[in-house]
Structure 1
Amino acid sequence: MDRSQKTDAVAALNANFGQVGVVVVTRNLGLTVAQSTVLRGKMRDAGATYKVSKNKLAKIALEGTDYAGLTDLLTGPVGLATSVDPVAAAKAAIDFAKTNDKFEIVGGAMGSQILDAEGVKALASLPSLDELRAKLVGLLVAPATKLATITQAPAAQIARVLSAYAEKEAA
Protein backbone atom coordinates (compact mmCIF):
# COMPACT_ATOMS: atom_id res chain seq x y z
CA MET A 1 0.00 0.00 0.00
CA ASP A 2 1.25 3.44 -0.75
CA ARG A 3 0.61 6.45 1.45
CA SER A 4 -2.57 7.62 -0.31
CA GLN A 5 -4.13 4.15 -0.11
CA LYS A 6 -3.34 4.01 3.61
CA THR A 7 -4.91 7.43 4.10
CA ASP A 8 -8.03 6.31 2.25
CA ALA A 9 -8.21 3.08 4.29
CA VAL A 10 -7.90 4.99 7.58
CA ALA A 11 -10.57 7.50 6.50
CA ALA A 12 -12.96 4.70 5.49
CA LEU A 13 -12.42 2.85 8.78
CA ASN A 14 -12.85 6.05 10.79
CA ALA A 15 -16.11 6.86 9.00
CA ASN A 16 -17.31 3.30 9.63
CA PHE A 17 -16.50 3.54 13.35
CA GLY A 18 -18.55 6.74 13.52
CA GLN A 19 -21.67 5.00 12.20
CA VAL A 20 -21.70 1.60 13.92
CA GLY A 21 -23.24 0.55 17.22
CA VAL A 22 -20.79 -2.23 18.06
CA VAL A 23 -17.27 -3.37 17.14
CA VAL A 24 -16.17 -6.95 17.81
CA VAL A 25 -12.45 -7.73 17.66
CA THR A 26 -11.67 -11.29 16.56
CA ARG A 27 -8.50 -13.30 16.10
CA ASN A 28 -8.37 -15.44 12.97
CA LEU A 29 -5.34 -17.71 13.14
CA GLY A 30 -5.18 -19.88 10.04
CA LEU A 31 -8.59 -19.29 8.48
CA THR A 32 -8.73 -20.49 4.90
CA VAL A 33 -10.13 -18.33 2.14
CA ALA A 34 -13.25 -20.51 2.01
CA GLN A 35 -13.83 -20.17 5.75
CA SER A 36 -13.29 -16.43 5.55
CA THR A 37 -15.80 -16.22 2.70
CA VAL A 38 -18.37 -18.15 4.76
CA LEU A 39 -17.75 -15.81 7.70
CA ARG A 40 -18.23 -12.70 5.56
CA GLY A 41 -21.45 -14.18 4.13
CA LYS A 42 -22.84 -14.86 7.62
CA MET A 43 -21.91 -11.35 8.69
CA ARG A 44 -23.60 -9.85 5.62
CA ASP A 45 -26.74 -11.92 6.23
CA ALA A 46 -26.87 -10.63 9.81
CA GLY A 47 -26.50 -7.02 8.68
CA ALA A 48 -22.88 -6.73 9.81
CA THR A 49 -19.51 -6.35 8.10
CA TYR A 50 -16.19 -8.09 8.70
CA LYS A 51 -12.93 -6.39 7.80
CA VAL A 52 -9.34 -7.47 8.25
CA SER A 53 -7.09 -4.45 8.52
CA LYS A 54 -3.54 -3.65 9.44
CA ASN A 55 -3.44 -3.06 13.18
CA LYS A 56 -1.50 0.20 12.85
CA LEU A 57 -4.08 1.62 10.41
CA ALA A 58 -6.97 0.46 12.59
CA LYS A 59 -5.38 2.10 15.65
CA ILE A 60 -5.05 5.37 13.77
CA ALA A 61 -8.67 5.11 12.59
CA LEU A 62 -9.88 4.45 16.16
CA GLU A 63 -8.40 7.73 17.43
CA GLY A 64 -11.08 10.29 18.12
CA THR A 65 -13.95 7.76 18.11
CA ASP A 66 -15.92 6.15 20.94
CA TYR A 67 -14.01 2.94 20.25
CA ALA A 68 -10.53 4.33 21.02
CA GLY A 69 -10.23 1.91 23.96
CA LEU A 70 -9.96 -1.02 21.55
CA THR A 71 -6.37 -0.21 20.58
CA ASP A 72 -5.02 -2.57 23.27
CA LEU A 73 -6.87 -5.51 21.67
CA LEU A 74 -5.34 -4.97 18.23
CA THR A 75 -2.36 -7.32 18.41
CA GLY A 76 -1.65 -10.14 16.02
CA PRO A 77 -3.90 -11.15 13.13
CA VAL A 78 -7.24 -9.60 14.03
CA GLY A 79 -10.44 -8.78 12.22
CA LEU A 80 -13.11 -6.22 13.03
CA ALA A 81 -16.79 -7.12 12.88
CA THR A 82 -19.08 -4.08 12.94
CA SER A 83 -22.80 -3.44 12.74
CA VAL A 84 -25.29 -0.68 13.39
CA ASP A 85 -27.47 -3.11 15.36
CA PRO A 86 -25.60 -3.64 18.64
CA VAL A 87 -26.34 -7.38 18.62
CA ALA A 88 -25.92 -8.45 14.98
CA ALA A 89 -22.12 -8.50 14.71
CA ALA A 90 -21.67 -10.14 18.11
CA LYS A 91 -24.26 -12.82 17.34
CA ALA A 92 -22.77 -13.65 13.93
CA ALA A 93 -19.22 -13.78 15.33
CA ILE A 94 -20.21 -16.04 18.24
CA ASP A 95 -22.14 -18.37 15.92
CA PHE A 96 -19.13 -18.69 13.61
CA ALA A 97 -16.73 -19.19 16.53
CA LYS A 98 -18.82 -22.15 17.73
CA THR A 99 -18.23 -23.98 14.46
CA ASN A 100 -14.60 -22.98 13.84
CA ASP A 101 -11.79 -23.43 16.36
CA LYS A 102 -9.38 -21.17 14.43
CA PHE A 103 -11.63 -18.17 15.05
CA GLU A 104 -11.82 -16.62 18.51
CA ILE A 105 -13.45 -13.58 20.03
CA VAL A 106 -10.90 -11.23 21.64
CA GLY A 107 -13.28 -8.52 22.84
CA GLY A 108 -15.21 -5.58 21.57
CA ALA A 109 -16.94 -2.35 22.37
CA MET A 110 -20.41 -0.94 22.33
CA GLY A 111 -19.93 2.78 22.16
CA SER A 112 -17.36 3.75 24.76
CA GLN A 113 -18.09 0.61 26.83
CA ILE A 114 -15.23 -1.89 26.31
CA LEU A 115 -16.27 -5.55 26.43
CA ASP A 116 -14.17 -8.63 27.02
CA ALA A 117 -14.91 -11.95 25.28
CA GLU A 118 -17.54 -12.86 27.89
CA GLY A 119 -19.19 -9.46 27.46
CA VAL A 120 -19.44 -10.04 23.71
CA LYS A 121 -21.00 -13.48 24.37
CA ALA A 122 -23.52 -11.88 26.74
CA LEU A 123 -24.31 -9.23 24.11
CA ALA A 124 -24.86 -11.96 21.51
CA SER A 125 -27.42 -13.66 23.74
CA LEU A 126 -29.66 -10.57 23.70
CA PRO A 127 -32.50 -10.32 21.17
CA SER A 128 -31.74 -8.27 18.06
CA LEU A 129 -33.12 -4.80 17.46
CA ASP A 130 -35.74 -6.15 15.02
CA GLU A 131 -36.89 -8.77 17.56
CA LEU A 132 -37.23 -6.09 20.23
CA ARG A 133 -39.24 -3.89 17.86
CA ALA A 134 -41.56 -6.81 17.04
CA LYS A 135 -42.14 -7.51 20.75
CA LEU A 136 -42.83 -3.83 21.41
CA VAL A 137 -45.36 -3.63 18.57
CA GLY A 138 -46.99 -6.83 19.87
CA LEU A 139 -47.29 -5.32 23.34
CA LEU A 140 -48.77 -2.12 21.94
CA VAL A 141 -51.30 -3.93 19.74
CA ALA A 142 -52.43 -6.49 22.34
CA PRO A 143 -54.50 -4.10 24.52
CA ALA A 144 -56.28 -2.67 21.47
CA THR A 145 -57.12 -6.18 20.26
CA LYS A 146 -58.44 -7.17 23.69
CA LEU A 147 -60.46 -3.97 23.91
CA ALA A 148 -62.06 -4.62 20.52
CA THR A 149 -62.90 -8.19 21.56
CA ILE A 150 -64.44 -7.04 24.85
CA THR A 151 -66.57 -4.33 23.21
CA GLN A 152 -67.88 -6.75 20.58
CA ALA A 153 -68.75 -9.50 23.08
CA PRO A 154 -71.78 -7.79 24.79
CA ALA A 155 -73.35 -6.88 21.46
CA ALA A 156 -72.96 -10.47 20.24
CA GLN A 157 -74.50 -11.79 23.47
CA ILE A 158 -77.49 -9.45 23.15
CA ALA A 159 -77.98 -10.54 19.55
CA ARG A 160 -77.95 -14.22 20.60
CA VAL A 161 -80.46 -13.59 23.41
CA LEU A 162 -82.81 -11.71 21.05
CA SER A 163 -82.44 -14.48 18.47
CA ALA A 164 -83.29 -17.10 21.08
CA TYR A 165 -86.42 -15.12 22.15
CA ALA A 166 -87.46 -14.74 18.54
CA GLU A 167 -87.10 -18.50 17.94
CA LYS A 168 -89.05 -19.19 21.14
CA GLU A 169 -91.91 -16.86 20.07
CA ALA A 170 -92.00 -18.44 16.61
CA ALA A 171 -92.30 -21.94 18.08
Structure 2
Amino acid sequence: MDRAEKGKIIEGLKDRAERAQVAIVTDFQGLSVAQLTPLRAKLHEAGCDYQVVKNTLARLAFSQTPHNVLGEKLKYSCAVAFGYDDPVVAAKVVVEFAKKNDKFSVRCASLNGKLLDEAAVKALSDLPSREQLLAQVLGTMNAVPQNFVCLFANVLRGMLNVLSALKEKKEQE
Protein backbone atom coordinates (compact mmCIF):
# COMPACT_ATOMS: atom_id res chain seq x y z
CA MET A 1 0.00 0.00 0.00
CA ASP A 2 1.53 3.29 -1.03
CA ARG A 3 1.44 6.62 0.79
CA ALA A 4 -1.52 8.02 -1.21
CA GLU A 5 -3.73 5.03 -0.39
CA LYS A 6 -2.84 5.31 3.29
CA GLY A 7 -3.70 9.02 3.17
CA LYS A 8 -7.13 8.22 1.72
CA ILE A 9 -7.80 5.63 4.42
CA ILE A 10 -6.73 8.04 7.16
CA GLU A 11 -8.95 10.80 5.76
CA GLY A 12 -11.92 8.41 5.51
CA LEU A 13 -11.46 7.24 9.10
CA LYS A 14 -10.98 10.82 10.30
CA ASP A 15 -14.18 11.92 8.54
CA ARG A 16 -16.19 9.07 10.08
CA ALA A 17 -14.71 9.68 13.52
CA GLU A 18 -15.49 13.40 13.41
CA ARG A 19 -19.13 12.74 12.48
CA ALA A 20 -19.60 9.85 14.94
CA GLN A 21 -20.93 10.28 18.46
CA VAL A 22 -19.64 6.84 19.41
CA ALA A 23 -16.79 4.69 18.14
CA ILE A 24 -16.83 1.11 19.43
CA VAL A 25 -13.64 -0.95 19.12
CA THR A 26 -14.34 -4.65 18.62
CA ASP A 27 -12.22 -7.79 18.44
CA PHE A 28 -13.20 -10.14 15.63
CA GLN A 29 -10.24 -12.51 15.58
CA GLY A 30 -11.29 -15.92 14.27
CA LEU A 31 -14.34 -14.69 12.35
CA SER A 32 -14.54 -14.72 8.58
CA VAL A 33 -15.90 -11.96 6.38
CA ALA A 34 -19.04 -14.02 5.81
CA GLN A 35 -19.60 -14.30 9.56
CA LEU A 36 -19.23 -10.52 9.98
CA THR A 37 -21.60 -9.69 7.12
CA PRO A 38 -24.80 -9.87 9.26
CA LEU A 39 -23.25 -7.42 11.72
CA ARG A 40 -22.35 -5.01 8.94
CA ALA A 41 -25.88 -5.29 7.52
CA LYS A 42 -27.55 -4.59 10.89
CA LEU A 43 -25.27 -1.64 11.55
CA HIS A 44 -25.93 -0.29 8.06
CA GLU A 45 -29.71 -0.57 8.62
CA ALA A 46 -29.28 1.38 11.85
CA GLY A 47 -27.36 4.15 10.09
CA CYS A 48 -23.96 3.10 11.44
CA ASP A 49 -20.70 2.02 9.85
CA TYR A 50 -18.33 -0.86 10.62
CA GLN A 51 -14.78 -0.90 9.35
CA VAL A 52 -11.81 -3.16 9.91
CA VAL A 53 -8.91 -0.84 10.60
CA LYS A 54 -5.16 -0.98 10.44
CA ASN A 55 -4.07 0.09 13.92
CA THR A 56 -1.37 2.59 12.94
CA LEU A 57 -3.62 4.29 10.39
CA ALA A 58 -6.52 4.41 12.85
CA ARG A 59 -4.30 5.93 15.55
CA LEU A 60 -3.25 8.66 13.12
CA ALA A 61 -6.84 9.32 12.05
CA PHE A 62 -8.26 9.33 15.60
CA SER A 63 -5.50 11.57 16.96
CA GLN A 64 -7.16 14.59 15.32
CA THR A 65 -10.72 13.78 16.45
CA PRO A 66 -12.65 13.63 19.73
CA HIS A 67 -12.07 9.85 19.74
CA ASN A 68 -8.30 10.17 20.28
CA VAL A 69 -8.69 8.32 23.61
CA LEU A 70 -8.94 5.11 21.59
CA GLY A 71 -5.37 5.38 20.26
CA GLU A 72 -3.72 3.16 22.85
CA LYS A 73 -6.56 0.62 22.74
CA LEU A 74 -6.01 -0.17 19.07
CA LYS A 75 -3.97 -3.36 19.26
CA TYR A 76 -4.05 -6.67 17.45
CA SER A 77 -6.87 -7.26 14.96
CA CYS A 78 -9.72 -4.87 15.54
CA ALA A 79 -12.58 -3.12 13.83
CA VAL A 80 -14.52 0.01 14.73
CA ALA A 81 -18.27 0.55 14.67
CA PHE A 82 -19.26 4.20 14.22
CA GLY A 83 -22.63 5.44 15.50
CA TYR A 84 -23.70 8.82 14.19
CA ASP A 85 -27.19 9.89 15.29
CA ASP A 86 -27.90 7.64 18.26
CA PRO A 87 -24.98 6.03 20.11
CA VAL A 88 -27.30 3.57 21.85
CA VAL A 89 -28.32 1.93 18.57
CA ALA A 90 -24.74 1.08 17.60
CA ALA A 91 -24.03 -0.27 21.09
CA LYS A 92 -27.17 -2.43 21.03
CA VAL A 93 -26.31 -4.00 17.67
CA VAL A 94 -22.68 -4.70 18.58
CA VAL A 95 -23.47 -6.11 22.05
CA GLU A 96 -26.27 -8.29 20.64
CA PHE A 97 -23.87 -9.68 18.01
CA ALA A 98 -21.24 -10.33 20.72
CA LYS A 99 -23.78 -12.38 22.71
CA LYS A 100 -24.41 -14.64 19.71
CA ASN A 101 -20.74 -15.07 18.69
CA ASP A 102 -18.11 -16.31 21.12
CA LYS A 103 -15.19 -15.18 18.96
CA PHE A 104 -16.48 -11.59 18.77
CA SER A 105 -16.08 -9.17 21.66
CA VAL A 106 -16.30 -5.49 22.52
CA ARG A 107 -13.06 -4.00 23.77
CA CYS A 108 -13.94 -0.40 24.51
CA ALA A 109 -15.59 2.67 23.06
CA SER A 110 -15.37 6.42 22.89
CA LEU A 111 -18.59 8.33 23.52
CA ASN A 112 -18.06 11.95 22.46
CA GLY A 113 -14.40 11.68 23.53
CA LYS A 114 -14.98 9.84 26.80
CA LEU A 115 -13.43 6.37 27.08
CA LEU A 116 -15.86 3.57 27.95
CA ASP A 117 -14.83 0.06 28.93
CA GLU A 118 -16.68 -3.09 27.89
CA ALA A 119 -19.07 -2.96 30.87
CA ALA A 120 -19.97 0.66 30.10
CA VAL A 121 -20.72 -0.22 26.48
CA LYS A 122 -23.03 -3.01 27.68
CA ALA A 123 -24.71 -0.53 30.04
CA LEU A 124 -25.09 1.92 27.13
CA SER A 125 -26.76 -0.82 25.09
CA ASP A 126 -29.32 -1.35 27.88
CA LEU A 127 -30.53 2.26 27.62
CA PRO A 128 -33.62 2.99 25.56
CA SER A 129 -33.00 4.34 22.09
CA ARG A 130 -33.54 7.97 21.14
CA GLU A 131 -36.94 7.20 19.59
CA GLN A 132 -38.08 5.36 22.72
CA LEU A 133 -36.99 8.25 24.94
CA LEU A 134 -38.80 10.75 22.73
CA ALA A 135 -41.95 8.61 22.86
CA GLN A 136 -41.75 8.48 26.66
CA VAL A 137 -41.29 12.26 26.89
CA LEU A 138 -44.21 12.88 24.53
CA GLY A 139 -46.36 10.43 26.49
CA THR A 140 -45.56 12.27 29.70
CA MET A 141 -46.19 15.65 28.10
CA ASN A 142 -49.51 14.40 26.74
CA ALA A 143 -50.54 12.93 30.11
CA VAL A 144 -50.43 16.29 31.91
CA PRO A 145 -53.06 18.08 29.78
CA GLN A 146 -55.11 14.89 29.51
CA ASN A 147 -55.22 14.54 33.30
CA PHE A 148 -56.06 18.25 33.58
CA VAL A 149 -59.02 17.85 31.22
CA CYS A 150 -60.22 14.74 33.05
CA LEU A 151 -59.99 16.57 36.39
CA PHE A 152 -62.19 19.41 35.16
CA ALA A 153 -64.59 16.98 33.52
CA ASN A 154 -65.00 15.23 36.88
CA VAL A 155 -65.60 18.57 38.63
CA LEU A 156 -68.24 19.52 36.05
CA ARG A 157 -69.81 16.06 36.29
CA GLY A 158 -70.01 16.40 40.09
CA MET A 159 -71.54 19.86 39.76
CA LEU A 160 -74.08 18.51 37.27
CA ASN A 161 -74.99 15.69 39.68
CA VAL A 162 -75.53 18.22 42.50
CA LEU A 163 -77.71 20.41 40.27
CA SER A 164 -79.70 17.37 39.11
CA ALA A 165 -80.24 16.33 42.71
CA LEU A 166 -81.42 19.86 43.60
CA LYS A 167 -83.78 19.90 40.63
CA GLU A 168 -85.31 16.55 41.65
CA LYS A 169 -85.69 17.73 45.24
CA LYS A 170 -87.44 20.92 44.19
CA GLU A 171 -89.72 18.99 41.82
CA GLN A 172 -90.74 16.67 44.68
CA GLU A 173 -91.62 19.62 46.95
TM-score, length-scaled by structure 2: 0.86
Aligned to 1:127: 128
Give SS of 2:121's match: helix
Distance 2:157 2:34 in 1: 63
Superposition pairs for residues 36-115 of structure 1, below 5 Å? 36-84=36-84, 85-115=86-116
TM-score, length-scaled by structure 1: 0.87
Structure 1 residues 89-135: Cα deviation after superposition (integer angstroms, max 9, x where no partner)? 11111100000011111111112211111121121112222221111
Between the aligned residues of both structures, percent identity stands at 37
Give SS of 1:87's match: helix
Gaps of 5+ in 1: none
Distance 2:39 2:97 in 1: 7
Q: CA deviation at 1:162?
A: 6.4
Distance 1:37 1:156 in 2: 62
Distance 2:69 2:159 in 1: 68
Structure 1 residues 7-64: Cα deviation after superposition (integer angstroms, max 9, x where no partner)? 1221121111111111110010121222211011121233322111211111111012
Q: CA deviation at 1:166?
A: 8.2
Distance 1:135 1:101 in 2: 35
| Aligned residue identity for 1:114 | L
| Aligned residue identity for 1:47 | G
RMSD: 2.2
Distance 1:38 1:164 in 2: 70
Aligned to 1:148: 149
Distance 2:15 2:127 in 1: 27
Gaps of 5+ in 2: none
Q: CA deviation at 1:3?
A: 2.5
Structure 1 residues 160 and 59: CA distance shift in structure 2, 3 A = same
| Aligned residue identity for 1:148 | V
The aligned length equals: 170
